[in-house]
Amino acid sequence: MATVGIQFPSDYGYTLLSVVSTFFVGTWLGIRVTSFRKAAKIPYPYEYASAEQVSTAAPAAAKAMDTFNRAQRGHQNFVENHASAVGALLVAGLRYPKLAAGLGAVWSVNRVLYALGYTNGGEKGRYWGAAGILALWTLFGVAGKSAWEMCN
């Protein structure tokens, strides 16, 4: 059985720092959801307050439930995209470590902005993190380019 060595670019540590930043963002989002869950009095294992719960609650309770639902959705949106973002970061960083790190940092920061915007600014607040989508799609392109270059 032959062994294969992998050489990483000298700047690959920046890519890894960007990956690690996503762990902190995910943790922060989870902690945030927990605080909103307590305020809305939504017990586990329920993922969201139902539309019926929100519509029949007193105004203050309805607002707390709506805010919880938005925080939960922001966290879930992060989880839905996290594996793809980290995978693309790791692949793109093999050829373009600083570019990948920068795009990953933009994505991480914009996940925070998205979460804050969605919980504080309502529907339109989701657009606070719109640059993160552009960064993610660019990261996918850079990962594809890196992979293609490694084939040649």
The answer to whether 136 touches 107, Cβ cutoff 8 Å, is yes
Neighbours of 41 (CB within 10 A): 13
In the chain, which residues have pLDDT < 50? Answer: none
Q: How far apart are CA 110 and CA 139, in angstroms?
A: 14
Amino acid at 103: L
- Asked, as a colleague might, if the bond just before 45 is cis with ω within 30 of 0, I would say yes
Domain 12-151 class, CATH top level:
mainly alpha
Q: What is the pLDDT of residues 77-120, one digit of tens each?
A: 999 999 999 999 999 999 999 999 999 999 999 999 999 999 98
pTM of the model: 0.90
Nearest to 115 by CA among 150, 82, 68: 68
- Backbone φ and ψ for 49, nearest 5 degrees, come out as -80, 135
